Structure 1
């Protein structure tokens, strides 16, 4: 399985979009400051949105699509399923 995920620094804060085949491991790397320089610099650690795909190609295509979206569209996507911007990583790491 492959995952497209969105991290946030806080509600309506800095956003980061990534793709992985292991959300828990990738999130742990981000939180250790080893996942991405951007995430490390801006303290973007709250998992606020996750999508599941069976093929890597689909996940990568979706990641690229989301990265091109306007910020307001990304916020709407997050708030559709996670209106309180809860950290969805509970139990993952």
Structure 2
């Protein structure tokens, strides 16, 4: 029997509720992602995923999802000035310190 639960998260809109499901890790350390999660994220076959550790949470993302997230972050930074100019200034400051 599967244990499906909806938990509020601290990320995103206040009305966002995370879908959770209890799974088991086998002796080899493998975890099977529930099919409804794979379908929702369009994960197929032997696709590589991005896995991160955030405190006591393991976050799994598709490469496409991670790229979209980085693009959003880069756009926000661009709004506050040129990312390239900031990078060049950092490198010049490092060179001056050496």
TM range (shorter): under 0.3
Give the alignment's TM-score, normalised by structure 2: 0.20
Q: Which has the higher contact order (CA 8 A, sep 6+)?
A: 1
Give the alignment's TM-score, normalised by structure 1: 0.20
Q: Rg: which structure is higher?
A: 2
